[in-house]
């Protein structure tokens, strides 16, 4: 794995994206066979998390990929209050116990790991690999691929419907731009990982009953407006010179 990384950081990243998507797709039918929701998904995600963290740790890449304290004070990021709002957005329609205990535990483990894996792959590996040549391109590609990548949920047996998936994609693209901006301006992925994991995990307890299409549209618009607004504020108040891209 180290040799591949040294040869081409971008190729290394693309391979990990493919591995992640394939394993996510394979996990859904396995969950049904095992009979416990998200059981295989949790195992696959936990293994990927351990492997990725071990690789980053062993090769002294923690700071490069933002697994460190932000270099900019929390005050400059408005104390991350907008991130707290985003993280709790899935509970705006109410709280519900959607799974049995075993399924809840597996889903929570899976969602916590997904937050770290996706941030490390898309905002860490992919962004850094492209930013060496063109930072603007890196920001765009990192954000769009993260958002559009959610299309796989239609075909991988996750059970999500088209309308929900389209809302998910729009929000994911906006959040992708926000997270890559936070990383590029503050040098840390930790706020992004924590928020991403919280969004996914709290969705486990989101009440779906009564969440009409109209409410979904309103929710998506609020999330996108908040995310875009926060991104613009950070972009205007924190210069690009507050970080550097390692060649």
Supply the pLDDT for residue 102.
96
- Location of structure tokens 């899976």: 110
150, pLDDT greater than 60: yes
Supply the pLDDT for residue 243.
47
Q: Higher-confidence residue: 144 or 152?
A: 144
196-208 residue pLDDT tens: 999 999 999 999 8
Find the mean pLDDT for residues 157-161.
56
CA distance 165 to 152: 9
For residue 95, list its beta bridge partners: 206
216-244 residue pLDDT tens: 888 889 999 999 999 999 999 987 644 45
Supply the pLDDT for residue 211.
84
CA distances from 61 to 18, 125, 131 (A): 22, 10, 16
Q: How many CB atoms are closer than 10 A to CB 81?
A: 11
**Percent of the chain at pLDDT above 90?**
72
Quick one: residue 198, left, alpha or beta (phi over 0 = left, psi -120 to 50 = alpha)?
Answer: alpha
- pTM of this prediction? 0.91
Confidence of residue 8 (pLDDT cuts 50, 70, 90): very high
Confidence of residue 120 (pLDDT cuts 50, 70, 90): very high
Supply the pLDDT for residue 132.
87
88-119 residue pLDDT tens: 999 999 999 989 999 999 999 999 999 999 99
Confidence of residue 152 (pLDDT cuts 50, 70, 90): low
Q: Higher-confidence residue: 157 or 66?
A: 66
User: For the chain, how far is it from start to end, CA to CA, in angstroms?
Assistant: 20
Supply the pLDDT for residue 214.
85
């Amino acid at each position: 794995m180290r040799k591949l990384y040294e040869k081409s950081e971008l190729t290394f990243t693309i391979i990990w994206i493919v591995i992640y998507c394939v394993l996510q797709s394979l996990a859904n039918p396995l969950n049904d066979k095992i009979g416990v929701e998200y059981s295989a998904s949790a195992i696959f995600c936990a293994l990927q998390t351990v492997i990725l963290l071990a690789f980053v740790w062993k090769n002294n890449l923690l700071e490069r990929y933002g697994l460190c304290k932000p270099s900019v004070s929390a005050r400059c990021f408005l104390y991350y209050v907008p991130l707290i709002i985003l993280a709790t957005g899935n509970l705006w329609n109410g709280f519900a116990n959607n799974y049995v205990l075993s399924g809840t535990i597996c889903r929570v483990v899976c969602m916590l790991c997904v937050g770290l894996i996706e941030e490390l792959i898309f905002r860490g590996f992919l962004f850094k690999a492209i930013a060496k040549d063109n930072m603007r391109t890196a920001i765009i590609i990192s954000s769009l691929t993260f958002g559009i990548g959610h299309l796989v949920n239609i075909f991988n047996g996750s059970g999500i419907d088209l309308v929900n998936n389209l809302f998910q994609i729009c929000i994911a693209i906006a959040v992708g731009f926000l997270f890559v901006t936070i990383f590029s301006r503050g040098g840390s992925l930790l706020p992004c990982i924590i928020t991403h994991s919280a969004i996914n995990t709290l969705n486990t307890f989101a009440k779906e009953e009564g969440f009409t299409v109209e409410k979904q549209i309103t929710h998506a618009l609020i999330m996108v407006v908040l995310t875009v607004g926060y991104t613009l504020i950070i972009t205007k108040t924190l210069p690009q010179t507050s970080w550097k891209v390692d060649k």
